Amino acid sequence: MSTPDRLRRDGFSVEALRRLARERLPKPIFDFIDGGAEGEDTLRENESSFQDWSILPRPLNGAAARDLSIDLFGQRLSSPILIGPTGLAGLFWPRGEIVSAQAAQQHGTVYCLSHGSVCTLESLAAEHGGQRWMQIFIYKDRGFTRELTARAQASGYQGLVLTLDNQLIGKRERDIVNRFTIPPRFGPSQMLAFARKTAWWWAMRQELASLTFGNYVRADTPESAAQLAGKMGSLLDPGMTWQDVDAVRSQWRGPLLLKGVLHPQDAIEAQRHGVDGIIVSNHGGRQLNGASASVRALPAVVQALGGQLPVLLDGGIRRGSDIFKALALGATAVMLGRPHLWGLSVAGEAGVAHVLSLLSAELDLVMGLSGVQDIAQIRAAGLLVRNEAAAN
Ligand SMILES: Cc1cc2nc3c(=O)[nH]c(=O)nc-3n(C[C@H](O)[C@H](O)[C@H](O)COP(=O)(O)O)c2cc1C
């Protein structure tokens, strides 16, 4: 059976793909993707809070043909589903970032590369002609923030995403229990975990030897990935302020997005500081446990901005109906974190392509059943009702 056929049969939903990823990956690596901070309350609520709202369909509106495309920063995207930045995608599948970006390009959407990619931002740019954004942080060494920004500009990245919610690294307890380190250490318990997953181990055997954070490695000061990983937390500056946003703004020519915004006042500030887009996000519940679920924070951010800036949302998107609800609440588009990594882990480029088409097909179905012809109508049609239990 061909890979696409197998994916259609066994990976019929994002949750089914998650189960397939669990079968293929060593437990510490699966948990690194899957897990969240502390008791994982925010992670769970990201997913469950979509149930705070229900759809009131209007099937007589005549929606025989549906158009999922959107305009974002002057570019036409085939659907409102983008791929968000996730570090170390190259640990889950050989050349993980590059094949994910290729799947995004095939689908006609944006791929956002993480600061913590295994490949360098330049090597992705060399192989990927599609729409790509670059994600950065504010470093204690502001020179390095400027350097990454300049490299992204020089390599033709069209958008820059400044992530705000990761300046201190969240307490991820599954990683503590699994003794998960980056890169994976080859102690007896890790060897046992890896040996159980032969397909992954065989595919990754060469990559593992040289696994690193590509963007941080400098020719003049070669550091091992282990040294870099140890330093990573201490490189970022929790003392950053709006002045840092101003500095990035003045350097970067092109759309600048802030990722990790939950407070409506920060959205208003962002607009004052010349930011072009907001990503409502809590880092997939991996950082501040107890932070608001993304979709719960969305309406206030949308209202604060009054339609002046595009608002993207990530966190807990697992179904087309989740996307529909996010758009009905005012999001311009959504970004995928874990779902694309589960697809990637199962089947590389074909797996990421499958996730994108699966969620698009689900969204298309929800639109058809709701009587909606295009993305703009999702918001305008007023088809969402807040459930009473959630409102109380
Ligand atoms: C394994 C993993 C690595 C991540 N690495 C980054 C990163 O390097 N930069 C970043 O801004 N967000 C990172 N994120 C957060 C995602 O961009 C996104 O906010 C989150 O995964 C969305 O939630 P979801 O996984 O429920 O879709 C990471 C998420 C995961 C699961």
Kindly report the protein residue whose alpha carbon is nearest to atom 19 of ligand 1: 283
In a domain, 389, yes or no: no
pLDDT score of 203 more than 80: yes
Q: What is the pTM of this model?
A: 0.96
Domain count, the chain: 1
The answer as to whether 228 is a domain residue is yes
Query: According to the model, what pLDDT value does residue 355 have?
Result: 98
Q: Is 281 in the pocket of ligand 1 (CB under 6 A)?
A: yes
In a domain, 292, yes or no: yes
Confirm whether 262 is domain-assigned: yes
The answer to the question of residue 372 being in a domain is no
CB 170 within 8 A of CB 288: yes
Mean pLDDT of 279-285: 98
Average pLDDT over residues 113-122: 96
What is the residue range of 322's domain? 3-51+74-355
Question: Is 332:311 a contact under the CB 8 Å cutoff?
Answer: yes
Tens-digit pLDDT profile for residues 250-277: 999 999 999 999 999 999 999 999 999 9
Burial of 308 (0-12, 13-18, 19+ CB in 10 A): exposed
Q: Which atom of ligand 1 is nearest to the CA of 116?
A: 8
> Ligand 1 pocket check: which of 286, 289, 340 to mutate, most ligand atoms within 8 Å of Cβ?
286
Whether 109 shows a pLDDT value over 70: the answer reads yes
Q: Is 283 annotated as catalytic?
A: yes
Q: Is 280 helix (H, G, I), strand (E, B) or coil?
A: strand
Q: Is 220 or 247 the better-scoring residue by pLDDT?
A: 247
Q: What is the pLDDT of residue 52?
A: 98
Q: For 119-145, what is each residue's pLDDT tens digit?
A: 999 999 999 899 999 999 999 999 999
Pick from 289, 338, 348: which is nearest to 315 by CA?
A: 338
> For ligand 1, atom 4, which residue shows the shortest CA distance?
86
* Beta-bridge partner residues of 159: 133
Distance 57 CA to ligand 1 centre (A): 32
Tell whether the model's pLDDT for residue 187 goes beyond 60.
yes
Mean pLDDT, the chain, integer:
94
State the Cα–Cα distance between residues 387 and 272, nearest whole angstrom: 34
Mean pLDDT computed over 240-244: 98
Q: Probe ligand 1: pick from 17, 18, 34, 86, max atoms within 8 Å of CB?
A: 86
Per DSSP, 73 falls in state: T
For the Cβ of 338 lying below 6 angstroms from any atom of ligand 1, the answer is yes
Answer yes or no: is 367 within a domain. no
Residue 385 lies in a domain: no
Scored b (16 or more CB within 10 A) or e, 157-194 reads bbbbbbbbbbbeebebbbbeebebbbbbeeeeebeebb
In a domain, 46, yes or no: yes
E strand segments, 120-166: 132-136, 159-163
DSSP letter, residue 85 = P
Ligand 1 centroid to Cα of residue 338, in Å, is 7
Q: Which of 107, 128, 283, 354 is catalytic?
A: 283
Please give the structure tokens belonging to residue 103.
Answer: 């799947």
Residue 193: give its domain's CATH number.
3.20.20.70
**What average pLDDT does this structure show over 330-343?**
98
In the predicted model, what is the mean pLDDT of residues 8-19? 97
Cα(337) to centroid of ligand 1, in Å? 5
49 touches ligand 1 (CB under 6 Å): no
Q: Do 43 and 337 form a contact (C-beta atoms < 8 A)?
A: no
